Amino acid sequence: MVTRGATSTGCLLSLLVFVAALYYGVNVGEVFFRYYRLLDEMDSQARIASGLDNGTIARRIAAAVQEIGIPDSAARVVVRRTLTPREITITTDYSETVDLPFFKHSFAFHPKATQPL
């Protein structure tokens, strides 16, 4: 025998789980979205590196870090040029913490862009 309202309770519970997953997913997703924006900027700077000096590249990436809203520690960029093989490597390290109800996690990121010169 099914009691009246049993299906609406199940529906409400399913809706609550969906909204909670969406809330957590959006907040965690923002962290990864910012990471990929920084990685894209690093790749762009690596592609045009043959016409720029290392200081200019580091300043441009530091400006992008500020614009994107990533922690300032990501602005400490290391730019290396090697002769064999002839390439440029741009790296940085930073972490972001997501603090949500019942969930606190620190994500460590190590973006790296490498392009031939």
pLDDT of residue 99: 86
Q: In one letter, which amino acid is 14?
A: S
CA nearest 94: which of 62, 72, 64?
A: 72
In contact, 38 and 64? CB cutoff 8 Å: yes
pLDDT band at 50 (very low <50, low <70, confident <90, very high): confident
2 alpha-carbon distance from chain centroid: 48
Q: Dihedrals φ, ψ of 70, to 5°? A: -85, 155
Taking 60 as the threshold, does the pLDDT of residue 43 lie above it?
Answer: yes
User: What's the pTM value of the predicted model, to 2 decimals?
Assistant: 0.82
Per residue in 17-35, pLDDT tens? Answer: 888 888 888 888 999 999 9
Per residue in 76-104, pLDDT tens? Answer: 999 999 998 899 999 999 999 988 888 78
